[in-house]
Amino acid sequence: MLMLLFQLGTSRYAIPVVEVVEVTPYVELETIPLAPVCVCGLFNYRGQHVPVIDLCRLINDTPCRNSFTSRIILVNYPLADGSRRVLGLLAERVTETVDIDPEHFTSTGLNMEGTPCPGQAARCETGLVQHITTTELLPEAIQSQLFPAEAG
């Protein structure tokens, strides 16, 4: 399975490329008043207002660095009503893809409820990579704030 690699702090993560719409540069975002701290803003993507989540803040409770390789990963985020919306994921060192056999992802032995990582990791040439899936990305409270009409 082709995976997009990125970094959050010092840890490497991967998301299946089939879940990715596009990778864009880190652009200036419009702030959303009173949004949760991990929601870093909105931007216009082809006429659609897209909320952007700071994955570093969501997972590590520290903001992503604004560096040359920080990018916004656009994904088709699945909603409770079965529809999908484009969601931006701000991450660091979004620089490469790698083909990882799905069978190489094995349980970490950890069950961290409420996190976007389903507890699976694989070893590849870049080291340990944790698997992220969009279906478990956002806590219900944040999803209902970002997509209130579609929340179930």
Q: Which residue has the higher pLDDT, 93 or 107?
A: 93
Sequence spans of domains, the chain: 2-146
**How, if at all, do strands 20-25 and 11-16 pair?**
unpaired
2-11 as b/e: b if 16+ CB within 10 A: ebbbbbbeeb
Q: State both tokens at 47.
A: 């006429």
Judge contact between 45 and 76, C-beta under 8 A. no
Task: State the Cα–Cα distance between residues 135 and 103, nearest whole angstrom.
Answer: 19
- Quick one: DSSP state of residue 54? E
Q: Give the position of tokens 């006429």.
A: 47
Task: State the Cα–Cα distance between residues 25 and 109, nearest whole angstrom.
Answer: 35
Q: What is the pLDDT of residue 70?
A: 94
As assigned by CATH, the class of the 2-146 domain is mainly beta
pLDDT in tens, 26-68: 988 999 988 899 999 999 999 999 999 999 998 888 999 888 9
Q: What is the pLDDT of residue 89?
A: 96
Judge contact between 89 and 53, C-beta under 8 A. yes
110: confidence class by pLDDT, cuts 50, 70, 90: low
Q: Which residue has the higher pLDDT, 25 or 132?
A: 25
107: confidence class by pLDDT, cuts 50, 70, 90: confident
139: confidence class by pLDDT, cuts 50, 70, 90: confident
Q: What is the pLDDT of residue 147?
A: 84
pLDDT at 98 over 70: yes
Q: State both tokens at 28.
A: 């200036």
